[in-house]
Amino acid sequence: MDMKGKLGNVSFGGNWSEDILARDQLKNILDFLDLVACKCADEDMRGDRLEEALTYVSEHIEKGDMLAKALRKALTLFEPLQRQEAVIRAVRRIGRPLREKE
């Protein structure tokens, strides 16, 4: 059963379950962005899945538009190691809000 299904069975008040779900969703996106950072020196990681992740970042993280733009720009760098270093920095900045809440 997925996280949403598990939380749907809980009948307490408040929005804590939505917060947990949002954190879980963001963690999944950050895991994918970590994968992008690992592979971007050797592979072109741009595509629909990345755009979906960056759309989520733009909509749910403070300054998300700016952070998503920085990651997109980093992925266009020609030199593989520079590209990877820039992507790693961008992913760290994107993940900062989640790490601060833990």
Can you state the percent helix, strand and coil of the chain, rounding each to 5? 75, 0, 25
| 96 found inside a domain | yes
Residue 65 belongs to a domain:
yes
Show the domain range for 67: 16-101
pLDDT in tens, 27-59: 999 999 999 999 999 999 999 999 999 999 999
Task: Write out pLDDT tens, residues 52-95.
Answer: 999 999 999 999 999 999 999 999 999 999 999 999 999 999 99
In a domain, 9, yes or no: no
On whether residue 30 sits in a domain, the answer given is: yes
> Exposure of 94 by Cβ count < 10 A (0-12 exposed, 13-18 middle, 19+ buried)?
buried
Domain count, the chain: 1
- Residue 6 resides in a domain: no
Instruction: Examine residue 37 and state whether it is found in any structural domain, yes or no.
Output: yes
Count the neighbouring beta carbons within 10 Å of the beta carbon of residue 85: 16
Whether residue 46 lies inside any domain: the answer is yes
- Residue 92 in any domain: the answer is yes
What pLDDT is recorded for position 23? 79
Confidence of residue 22 (pLDDT cuts 50, 70, 90): confident
